[in-house]
Structure 1
Amino acid sequence: MEQCRECEGLFAGELHNEQFSESTQAGNSTVENKNKWTPLLVLVATSVTIGLYVPVGYNIGVVNSPAEIIKKFCNESIYERYDRSLTDGQLRILWSSVVSIFLVGGTIGSLTGSWLADYVGRKGASIVSGGLTTCIVPMYLIELAPTYLTGAMGVFCQLGITLGILIAQVLSLNQILGDEELWPYLLSSYAVFIIMCSITIPVLPESPKFLLFNKKRDEAFKQLERIRNNPNYVVEREIMEMESHMQVVSEQTQTGWNIGKVLRDRSLLLPIILVCSMQAGQQFSGINAVFYYSTLIFKAAGLSDQESQFATIGSGVINLLMGCASVVIISFFKRRGVMQLSCLLSILCLLLLSLTIIYMESYTWIPYICIIAVLGFVLCYGIGLGPIPYFIGSELFEVGPRPSAMALGGIANYGGNFIIGLTFPLMQAEIGAASFIVFAGFTTALLFLMRFYLPETKGRDPSEVAVLCKNGLRSRVLVSPIDSTITADTVSTPEVKVS
C-alpha cells in the first residue's frame, strides 16, 4: 500500500516532502538561520565547484570533438617510432585507453579516500586528486550544511561536472583550441580552475562534525560559528545536538572504521549496496558514453562536423541548466521520487535513441528524433540520476562509517566510468545502436533497486535512516523508523502456526 500511494504521488507530481519533516533537533538549531546561505557557505560551494569538480567534468568532455585529430596523432606517432600503422581495431583499443586512463587514477584515489578523510580532515583530503574529489567532497559539503540545505549543497558536485563538460566542449571547437596545433593546450587547460580554487583554500573551514568527532570541541565551535554566522548560543546548541547524535553511536565509532569493517558490518549491507549501485549505475546509464561520443552520434544523424560540434555544445548547455535546476528540485522534492522519475525517463530516451540510430536512413525525419533523444536523455539524467548518487551516501551513513562508504562509492563511480570508456567503442563496433539498449537495461535494474530499497533521506538524520536499513535486504525502508525498530525486534521471532 505504501508503494502504491508513493507511485500515485510520483506521477501526479506530489513529490513534496510533507510527510518527512525535519527532525526536531535540526529544526531547533537552525530556526534563526532558516533559508539562509551565509557568505562562507557560498564561498565553499563556489570554490569547490570551480576548483575541484569543473576539472573532473572537463576531463570527461575534452576528448570528444578533437577525437579524430588525437587519433591521427597517435597513429602517426606509432608509425614514426615503430614503422607500422595501427589497424582500425587496434586504434579503437588505443583510443579507449586514452579516453579512460584518467579514470584509473580516480579509482586508485578513491581507495585512499576514507583514510585521508579521517587522518587529515575533509578539507585537507579534498584538494589532493580527482578520485578523492568524488568520494570526499560531497561528504565535506554536506557536513558543513544545515539539514535543510544538504541536498542543495550536494548538487553542487554535479553542477561543477556539467559546467566542466560544457567548458571543454566550447574550448574544443576548431576555432578555439580544437585544431591540430592547439589540442595539447586544450587537454591541459583544466589546471586554470585548480589554480583559481587554490587561492581560497586557506580560508575554507574544516568540517565541524569531523573536528567534534576527533574531540576538538573548541575548534569545531569556532568553525561552525564562521559557517553559520549565528549568535554564540545558537552555535552552542547545534554543537550540543551534534554531540548528542554522536553519543548515540559512540560504541560503534570508538574502535574506528575502515573499508574492511564497513564491508563486514551486516547492518551496513543495504546502504553499501545502494551507494555503490547508484554511483556505478550513474555511469552504466551511458551518460559519459553519450558525452564522449556525442559528436560521432550527431554525425551519424546526418549533421556536418561543425553542426555536430554545436549540437554537442547544446547538450552540454542542457546538462548545465539541469544542474542549476536540480539545486531547486533536490531542495523541494523527495529523493526517492526524483530518482525513480529520472531513471524511468532516461530509460525511455535510451530506447528511443537506439531505435532512431537503427532506422536512421529509413526516413528523413528520424535523424531529428535521434537528436531529440540525445538531448532528452541528458535532460532526464540531470533531474536526479546525475546529482543524487554523489551525495546520497552522506545521508545514508552516520559520521563514523561515512568516509569508508563514500570511498567505496567513489570506486564504483570511477570503476563504472572506466569500464564504459574502455568498452563502449568496442560495443559500438560489435553491436552498434544496441549498446544503448544495454544501458537502458542497467538503468532499469537500478530503477527497481531504488523502488524497493531506497529509503527517503530528505529531512532525516542519518541515525534515523540507519534504523530503516539495518536488516539488509529484509529491511522495510518505506515505514517510519519507529515501525522499523518494532519490526527489527520481532523479525527473528519464529512464527507459531496452529494447525
Structure 2
Amino acid sequence: MPLNEETKHSQEMSNFDEGKHEGKVTKVLTFTVASAVIGSSLQFGYNTGVINAPQQVITDWINESYYDRTNKLLSEDTVDFLWSTTVAIFAIGGMIGSFTAGPMANRLGRKRGLLLNNVLALIGALFMGFSKQANSCEMLIIGRFVIGINCGINTGIVPMFLSEIAPFDLRGGVGVFNQLGVTFGILISQIFGLKDLLGTEDLWALLLGLTAVPAIFQILVLPFCPESPRYLLINKDQPKEAEKALKRLRNLNDVSYDINEMQAEYDNEQKEDKVSVKQLFQMKSLRLPLIISIVMQLSQQLSGINGVLYYSTSIFEDAGIDPDKSAYATLSTGTVMVIMTIVTIPLMDKTGRRTLHLWGLGLMALWASILTVSLATKDLWGSSSYLSIVAVIAFVVAFALGPGSIPWLIVAELFSQGPRGAAISVAFFINWSANFLVGLTFPFLQKSLDAYVFVIFIILLVIFWLFTYKFLPETKNKSFEEISAIFRKEAGKKDEYVSMATTEKPENQI
C-alpha cells in the first residue's frame, strides 16, 4: 500500500532537517538587503513622516496660493480638508500600488519590479518639489498620490524579496530590516523637517522633493544584486540561475538544502491550480492564513500609530508643549523607533513573531490608556504634558517591538509560492486602506473626542491581542512548506487547492 501524503511530507521534512545549516550574514546578502531597504523601505518611511513637521507652513501656503490665483481666502474647514487630502491621498496611492505589487513581482521579478518602480518615485518627487514654484496645491496632491503608488508597490515587494533571499533561520531578523528602513526614513524626515533645516516657508518643497534621493540610490546599486533564487526557480524555472544566485547570497559552494527546499515547494506548486484573488477567499486551506494576514495588517494600522506619526506635533501642542519645542518632541519618537527596531532584529528569530506581537499590542494598549489620562488632565495637572511625551514615546517603543515589523513579514511566511502573490496584494491593500482611513479621519476624531481620541484604539488593540493569542501560530525557524502544513492540518486536508485530477479512487473500487 502506498505511503499516504502526510507520511511523505514528514519524510521530506526529515530529509530537509538533515541538510539544514546555520545561516550566516554574507557581504552579498548585506549589500542586497541594504539596496532594497534604503531604496524602498526608507522611501516609504520618509514619505510617511515628512508631511508632519511642516504642517503649518504648508497649510498657510495652500491658502496663500489660492488667494494669489483667485483673490479669495479659503475657509478654515476647506483648508483642513485640503490638508487632510494631502495627507490621505498618499494612502490611496498606496492602496493602488499594493494591490498591483504581487502581480508585478511575479511578472517582472522582485529586483526588476523594484527598479522600474523608481520611475514613479522620480515623477512624484518632481511634482512635489516644484509645487511651490508653480503655486499649485494640485501638483502637491498629485505628487503625494504618485509617490503613494510607489510606496505601495515597495511595501508589497520588499518584504517578499527579503524573506526569499534570507536563510530560513535568519528570515525574521532580515525581515525586520524592512521596518528598520521605514523607521529610519521617518527619523530622517523629522530631522530635515525641523524649522532650523528644511521645514521652513521657503524650503518645505525641497524637503518633499528629496524623495528622489533613495530612488536614485537604488537605480545605481540594485542592478549589482542577485534576483530572488526562489523566484528564479519557481516562477521562471531557471534552476541554474537560482543556484548561482544562492551561491552568491550564501557564499557557499553547496546550497543543496536551499535548492531541495525550494524544489519541494516547486513540485507542490505544479500540483496546484493557479490561485487568483477570488480563489484565495474560496479555499478552505487558505482561509485561516488569509484572515490572520488581514487582521495583522489591521492591528498595525488601526493601533493608533499613524495618528501619532502624522499628527504627533499637534498632539504635543495640545498637551501643552510649546509649539517651537513640539517638533523636537516629535523627533524623539522617530529616534526611539529606530533604536527599538534594531533591538528587535535578533529577538525576531529567538523570541518569535507571535510573542513579540502580543507584547507589542499589550504595551500599546497600556500606554495609550496612560496617554488618554494625561491628555484628559492637562488642565488639572501641570506635569501631565511631560507624561504625554513619555506615553507617546513608550507607545512608539511598543509598536516597534512587534506590530511595526511583523505584519509586513508574516504574510510572505504564511503562504506557499503559489498563493503568496495574491495574498500579499490583498493583505497590503487592507493595510493601506486602514492607513487611509486613519489619516483622513484622525484630525476630525481628534477635534470631536479631544483627549479621548485614543479610547477607540485601546478597544481595537485589546481585540487584536485576543485574536493574535488565539489564532497566530509561531513561524520562527520554519520553512515555508512547514508553515503551510500547519494550515493544511487545520483545514483537515493536505492541499485543498490541489487539482481534482489527482483525486484517489476508494480502495474497494475495482
TM-score by length of 2: 0.85
Deviation at 1:419, TM superposition (A): 0.9
Aligned residue in 2 for 1:479? none
Q: Does 1:219 find its partner at 2:237? A: no
Find the aligned partners of 1:239 and 1:35 in 2 and give their Cα distance: 14
Aligned residues of 2:16 and 2:257 also touching (Cα < 8 A): no
Aligned residues of 2:23 and 2:167 also touching (Cα < 8 A): no
How many matched pairs? Answer: 449
Find the aligned partners of 2:16 and 2:302 in 1 and give their Cα distance: 36
Matches within 5 A, 1:196-345: 196-213=217-234, 214-231=236-253, 234-252=254-272, 255-345=273-363
Alignment partner of 2:411 out of 368, 393, 399: 393
Aligned residue in 2 for 1:45? 33
Find the aligned partners of 2:167 and 2:403 in 1 and give their Cα distance: 23
Deviation at 1:85, TM superposition (A): 2.5
Find the aligned partners of 2:398 and 2:451 in 1 and give their Cα distance: 20
Letter aligned with residue 284 of structure 2: R
Q: C-alpha offsets along residues 189-243 of structure 1, whole Å, 9 cap, x if unaligned?
A: 1211111122112111111111111311111111111111102xx2134312321
Aligned residue in 2 for 1:116? 104
SS where residue 255 of structure 2 aligns? helix
Find the aligned partners of 1:250 and 1:54 in 2 and give their Cα distance: 36
Matches within 5 A, 1:93-492: 93-127=81-115, 128=117, 129-213=150-234, 214-231=236-253, 234-252=254-272, 255-470=273-488, 475=490
Unaligned runs of 5+ in 2: 1-12, 118-149, 497-510
Alignment partner of 2:74 out of 74, 86, 89: 86
Aligned residues of 1:107 and 1:414 also touching (Cα < 8 A): yes
Q: Tell me how large the CA RMSD over aligned residues is.
A: 1.8
SS where residue 63 of structure 1 aligns? coil
Find the aligned partners of 1:435 and 1:448 in 2 and give their Cα distance: 22
Q: For structure 1, which segment, 295-304 or 368-377, has the greater mean C-alpha deviation from structure 2 after superposition? A: 295-304
Find the aligned partners of 1:46 and 1:430 in 2 and give their Cα distance: 43
Letter aligned with residue 191 of structure 1: A
Letter aligned with residue 90 of structure 1: T
Deviation at 1:465, TM superposition (A): 2.5
Aligned residues of 1:135 and 1:409 also touching (Cα < 8 A): no
Find the aligned partners of 1:461 and 1:39 in 2 and give their Cα distance: 23
Find the aligned partners of 2:257 and 2:389 in 1 and give their Cα distance: 54
Deviation at 1:24, TM superposition (A): 4.8
Deviation at 1:285, TM superposition (A): 0.6
Aligned residues of 2:92 and 2:436 also touching (Cα < 8 A): yes
Deviation at 1:470, TM superposition (A): 4.0
Find the aligned partners of 1:29 and 1:116 in 2 and give their Cα distance: 33
Q: Residues 420 and 57 of structure 1: is their aligned pair in 2 closer, same or farther, counting only changes over 3 Å? A: same
TM-score by length of 1: 0.86
Identity %: 35
Alignment partner of 1:77 out of 62, 65, 79: 65
Find the aligned partners of 1:72 and 1:375 in 2 and give their Cα distance: 29
Find the aligned partners of 2:74 and 2:464 in 1 and give their Cα distance: 38
SS where residue 401 of structure 1 aligns? helix
Q: For structure 1, which segment, 424-433 or 123-132, has the greater mean C-alpha deviation from structure 2 after superposition? A: 123-132
Unaligned runs of 5+ in 1: 1-22, 477-483, 489-499
Find the aligned partners of 2:333 and 2:347 in 1 and give their Cα distance: 20
SS where residue 199 of structure 1 aligns? helix
Aligned residue in 2 for 1:3? none
Find the aligned partners of 1:112 and 1:370 in 2 and give their Cα distance: 40
Letter aligned with residue 52 of structure 1: S
Find the aligned partners of 2:258 and 2:394 in 1 and give their Cα distance: 43
Find the aligned partners of 1:372 and 1:186 in 2 and give their Cα distance: 28
Q: Residues 286 and 26 of structure 1: is their aligned pair in 2 closer, same or farther, counting only changes over 3 Å? A: farther
Q: Residues 377 and 150 of structure 1: is their aligned pair in 2 closer, same or farther, counting only changes over 3 Å? A: same
Deviation at 1:310, TM superposition (A): 1.1
